[in-house]
Chain A
Amino acid sequence: MDIKVTPLGAGQDVGRSCLLLSIGGKNIMLDCGMHMGFSDDRKFPDFSYIVPDEPLTEYLDCVIISHFHLDHCGALPYMTEMVGYNGPIYMTVPTKAIAPILLEDMRKVAVDKKGEQNFFTSDMIKTCMKKVIAVNLHQVVQVDADLEIKAYYAGHVLGAAMFQVKVGNQSIVYTGDYNMTPDRHLGAAWIDKCRPDVLITESTYATTVRDSKRCRERDFLKKVHDCIEKGGKVLIPVFALGRAQELCILLETYWERMNLRCPIYFSAGMTEKANHYYKMFISWTNEKIRKTFVDRNMFDFRHIKSFDRSYIDNPGPMVVFATPGMLHAGLSLQIFKKWCTDEKNMIIMPGYCVAGTVGHKILNNTKRLEFEKGVITEVKMSVQYMSFSAHADAKGIMQLITWCEPRSVMLVHGEAEKMKFLKTKIKEEHGLECYMPANGETAVIPIKPSIPAKVAVPVLKQEAQVYSKQPPDNKRTRLLHGVLVMKTDGSLTILDPEAVNTEYNLGLHTVRFTSTVSVQSRLSLQFIIERIIEAVKPVLENTDYTVQKTGDNEITIQTVILQVEEGEDNVMDIRVSWAYSQDSLGSTIFKAMQNL
């Protein structure tokens, strides 16, 4: 049976990750995200593709969420509560803890601020989260008798995981978003050589090979340090979770190292709650934090305090992290308005900004902004851009492919143009088939059907004993002698023939070949037998078989029996009979008899 993958979102596109996977008769949904760029129906995946106007429970075996970013889990309450799904949902423990905070926050913004209709409610988030089953890293979860899933560490954000889905002997790995270079608070993604049939990988940075992260960090720190040294204020607009913690750790350790006194503030809110979870899930962070948390939990920030609006006008240098990240509203914009007129101050944009936001404008070097009608503000503060994105770059993606050795690769979560490049490279350098389905397009990955059969231990042992008579050699063939038994439920077993006999109470049948050679001779029977023995000897020269005389007119060599009968007219009939298993020996002896 072939593996089929249909992206409902994230097919040659970023955002709204949602893949339908059908493997070995099981249907699985990988991620269930929303698109941040749309506010109409396109923000959620089109679940009617699965089945129109009906709950999905019967059509899906399970849902797997890779991490808590909204483009990977944002549509989950909508799907479970409004479309209807009651089956199991799997996510890692930190994801289960943090995802509801983000969902709730998004709901507030969408419903209260933008006034969207037909949106899920707080209660729906709660009931949805109750359906979630938390998994741990490397824990093999048996969803049902055939389907099992296993999570691997993925870096990217706290609790991000790659999932291996296995049905029988077919398996796929879905990476979600991942990062192959470690950063200040997370380790690098890791997977073992699990050799899946398909590796479904993200490809955000398919055409980028990045400079070392140390350069970026050092640039960032130097800029901040220089600015506060001159007495300036630094504003860093961030999203509350993920990169914000990374930058906090970065600044916190730098402050510690350099013994700086200048205050760092973080505009509070949901970050408090999230930081609490960060402190708890130490085992999901990187080597340094894991090793030092006994002395001191790195997320117990000493230098970073929570921000109050009244601090905006405080004199002297300070560093402020403020939400939201794109400067379109809220505290960060308010602070920006106050500070942008002083050239000593600095703003650092750590991520991407959507067109139309103030962040996008200032990044494009707009020096005059109109916040209120008719009032034009001059931006004098220095504007810096730094990318601290935690996705794997092209080299990282290739590295992951080398590590897990898949049979084919599928690219999702990226732009089509970039995917094309990576696709050719994967074909060239790994020699693997590569798929990049668009949204709604089904990729069919042909799988060679294989039928598993159990082999009884004695059979294996016997074979091993025989095989190890000579030093091991890869080129030598290995022969397994047994009976294939098919049970009524379709399972196959290879058993020892004798064991089968006793179990099913069947008589042992041997297939023998018998052939007669007639020899014209006047010699006595005795003499003929002597001749035969002599004729056989050269055949047996290089083996350890011996000739036994078992009767007056009978010779046995292993299973080969030679009988001589006196016929009429001086004709001797030599009957050669051998067992099926020793066909080659029998036929050579028979040949020798013919030449007698």
Chain B
Amino acid sequence: MAAKYKKRALAEYGSQVLTEERAEPVKRLKLSSRHSVNSDIEIDPILNIDANSTERRIMSELMKFNRHLKLSSSDNLESSMRKIEECLKRIKDNSVKYKLIMGYAKILTTGKIGDISEKIKKICEHISDESSNKLLSAWLQAAELYVQTAQVDRNQTQQLLEVGRSTLLNSANPQVHVHGLALLALLVKPDSVEVNSKVFSLISSYSMSQDARVRCAAFSSLRKIHERGVKLDVSIYPVLCSAIRDDYEGVRIEVLKIMCLLSEIHPEYQVKLDGDAGYNRLVDDVFSRICQVINDVREPVRCLAAQLIGRMNKVSQTFLEQTLDKKLMSNMRVKKSSHERQAGLVASGEWSSGKKWADDAPKEEINTESVSLVSFGSCGAFVHGLEDECYSVRVAAVDSLTTLAIENHDLAVLALDFLVDMFNDEIEQVRLKAIGALTAISKHIKLQVHQLDIILAALDDFSTLLREKLHGMLQACNLATKDGLKSVINKLMYNLKKYPQDKRSILLTFKHLGANHPDLTLPLVTTLLHIHPFFDTPEPDIEDPGYLCNLVLVLNAAQHCPTLTPLLDDHTKRHHDYLKDTFPSLIPSSTSTPTTNNNKDDSLPQEAAQFIASILQRVKLSRKMSSASHINILTASCNELETISNVQESICDPANFTRLYLEGQALYEKIVRGYGWSHKTSQPGPADRSNLLKLQMVAKKLNSMFSNLGHQNQMLIRILKVKTLAVNLVSVVCHSNKSAKGECDEFLREFENILMDIPDSDLKQFSFIDAFNALALTDSKPGQVANKLKPLLLQYPPENLSAVPLQIKQAKAIIHEPTGGCETPLKCLAGLVLGIRMDAELYNIPDPSMLRICIRTADQVKQLSVPKRGDLVSVGGEENFRLLTTALFSHQVWSESLDIEISIVLYLGSKDNLVPLSQTVKVSVLPKPVRRGI
């Protein structure tokens, strides 16, 4: 009975589904078959139109043709051109004609057309006959496109010049003028003086045109002329001076650019000042004019002006210093800016009375005559630029100020206060820029206490990047007084307490502070280390970060200050010995002999290189020994290299490379000489299998992690990879029943790739490749390939490394956060997402898009996530990054907390194809069940 009901129910459901389906067809999805770009690539496309085709068809064909223009042969292009000409005669619609002409021009620029001069003549004829402004400008553009890409001989130049000139004079249309001017500018060549002067005078007269577009085109044509290697004449300067006040921003932008160019060509030309009889250098005059534009109404103009100021490096000192000039007044009385007030305190050595109200009260009365409210010349340009409304202008101003101040000591000193002010900007990028700028000019300035106060306040900032940048700035700066150093130390200690994660960067800062200011540190030593002249003070805890910082500072100072060492207590010296080993990079190895220390540093890489070479030599010799001892020597060498890479940071990367390669060699030997290799029937032992896996990993690492290898090494590791694939293929064929088709394909593909990259002449060098190539296999059955490979693999083991360049770079990642080892688990709701803050440094990553954050849970599931592009901040060099991001993790319920392993990996195409870049960090996580009924 029940079964019957069920059947009925099923039937009912079934019928229901049916009726629904019947109701649906109205909404049937209509899939229009779209031409995919790839499908209609023809080998030799031709324009498929004739005189009778409709306008619509012409347009679509034209677009299609334009996409694949490069594939077309010259015959087809010729016939296409003829077709276009035919259509042009028939078609009435100007827009279609316009498109046709542009298509015509594009064909001309391919460079595959034979009789060019004929075509040019034709274009010229069209230009002189055409009456429609739109088509006229199209023909001009066609000529322009052509001149841009192809060489034009003297005759054609003359022809085009005449045509262009007459067009300009015969038409009143601004669009025609714009294209005409652009064409003329392209005809200029450095060697033809006559043409140049003609074009030049014609174009410059159009800078007076009534239409803003034409003026703009005229100035940009002048700039193009300059770019083509013809020096601009200084005679246009007065024109530029009046045009810089143009109503149209496009014109002003062009004029600014030309002015800047002009000042680079003729910096010393004397410009007569209007009014009184005086002369200015051209570069100064231009500078002050550009400075005035920083007050322009429009943002793009201001931004450009701020950028250009930075490029002008030949400006006189007075003009430069004026850029930071600003006189304050309040109710007609002189007022000092807060910086000046503070500086006054330092200068007088007195302290404020404590009553701040009216402290900044204005003092003396100003003479009405002497004040000028409209800034003349370069006065206050940077002051305005730095206070601009728009972020882009402020950034440009900071950049320019930095570039100018790096070269110029006095300007740097003046700029300091203004840059410090920028620390308080509302946008973080600007703040970062300002700190970077201060770091750049730090060699010029000595920081006073009041300036430090402001700078150090930024150490409270929540942004890690900003704090670290500021640490970098402190590392580079010069402090003027002992009190300054004291306040820096205090603030850094406070910083350490507030943000313990900054420890690394702060320790580094202390190192540099000590090394840069040994004389200032000396008087502070006793207070810093609590040394008492009579009593022994208790020995501080070396694990205390504060004490550690002080030690780093003092020990680094002691290196340059011989009188400091005797002051230290015994236990301090003991601590020094301990720290030397724990932080070799932070602590100098001996406090008294800094000079020898330096020498040693320089010579070390040299020695290390010799060491690596000697190991390679040894390996080479061991080739002739028995395979067991060869393997032994390889393994021993690996160990040695690993030790040295840990000790000597400077050669870590090449040593690692060598080690990996030798390891690969050892594994290869182990496999090929192993028992399982020669005996086909026996199953490979677990050792063999793990060796193979290891070898694959090594090959993968070698191929993906290293850069700057040199061609020879590059080939070696690629061949190692091919061999690894071959070994894998052989082992699959011999020791398992499964199909080896995939492995075989992979091997052959890789082999083909490598064969393509080796020129035939070099083939002899790579004996394995050569030998396999010589077999000239026609069949790609895995069994046969494996059979042929087997002896070859035995015969040709991986080549020895001949030399390892020291500049090899290894991709690396160091995860600073999470630190791991934390016992309290991070809790989250199961199935929802947990964000784990990550802070890592990445080195030598040429392609950041391959980076992934890999989270492996206890059940061996890997979760990969791509770090956001914005979270990768490039630091010091293009291939080094700082990753500040949140790693996202999600999992179902666990009954208790378990560790997950976080690491940074390179992603090579699939989830199993990963290369670890960093140590894994363990974080304890507890996904809790969702509580119901809340």
Contact = CB atoms under 8 A, between A and B. Distances in A.
Interface of A: 181-182, 184, 187-188, 190-193, 207-219, 221-222, 225, 253, 256-259, 286-288, 363, 365, 383-385, 394-395, 397-399, 402-403, 418, 421-422, 424-425, 429-430, 461, 464-465, 467-474
Given A363-B357, A384-B356, A215 B168 contact: no
Contacts of B170: 468-469
A225 B491 CA distance: 14
Contact of B328 (A209, A222, A288): A209
Contacts of A216: 338
Nearest to A349: B357
A193 B330 CA distance: 29
Contacts of B388: 182
6 residue pairs, one from A and one from B, having the closest CB atoms = A471-B205, A464-B172, A259-B462, A182-B389, A468-B172, A214-B421
Given A257-B461, A465-B172, A472-B205, A418 B331 contact: yes
A187 B424 CA distance: 17
17 contacts: A187-B389, A209-B329, A210-B330, A212-B383, A213-B387, A214-B421, A215-B337, A218-B423, A258-B461, A258-B462, A365-B357, A398-B373, A421-B368, A425-B373, A429-B373, A471-B206, A472-B209
Interface of B: 168-172, 202, 205-206, 208-210, 247, 295, 297, 326-332, 335, 337-339, 355-357, 368, 371-375, 383, 386-391, 421-427, 454, 457, 460-463
Contacts of A461: 172
A420 B897 CA distance: 78
A73 B556 CA distance: 67
A471 B332 contact: no
A509 to B, nearest CB: 30
Given A193-B247, A257-B461, A257-B463, A399 B391 contact: no
Contact of A207 (B210, B331, B386): B331
Contacts of B326: 209
Question: Most chain-B CB neighbours within 10 Å: which of A212, A215, A474?
Answer: A212
Given A184-B426, A474-B208, A208 B329 contact: yes
Nearest to A463: B172
Given A214-B421, A214-B425, A188 B389 contact: yes
B355 A365 contact: yes
Contact of B169 (A187, A258, A287, A470): A470
A471 B207 CA distance: 10
Contacts of A192: 297
Contacts of B460: 225, 257-259
Nearest to A218: B424
A411 to B, nearest CB: 13
A182 B387 CA distance: 8
Given A253-B426, A257-B463, A288-B391, 17 more contacts: A182-B388, A182-B389, A211-B337, A211-B338, A212-B421, A218-B423, A256-B462, A257-B462, A287-B390, A402-B295, A424-B368, A425-B371, A461-B172, A467-B172, A468-B168, A471-B205, A471-B206
Contact of A403 (B171, B297, B339, B389): B297
Contact of A384 (B357, B386, B390, B454): B357
A221 B375 CA distance: 31
- Which of A190, A429, A471 has most B Cβ within 10 Å? A471
B332 A207 contact: yes
Contacts of B327: 209
Contacts of A214: 387, 421-422, 424-425
A473 B205 contact: yes
Contacts of A190: 297
Given A184-B426, A363-B357, A474-B208, A215 B295 contact: no
Nearest to A260: B460
A134 to B, nearest CB: 25
Nearest to B499: A259
Nearest to B460: A258
Contact of B171 (A222, A253, A468): A468
A539 B292 CA distance: 53
Contacts of A209: 326-330, 373
B426 A288 contact: yes
Contact of B357 (A385, A394, A418, A429): A385
Contacts of B383: 212
A569 B272 CA distance: 72
Contact of A429 (B210, B372, B389): B372
Contacts of B337: 211-212, 215
Residue in B202, B372, B375, B424 with the greatest tally of chain A CB atoms within 10 Å: B424
A558 B693 CA distance: 101
Contacts of B172: 461, 464-465, 467-468
Contacts of A256: 462
A221 B454 CA distance: 11
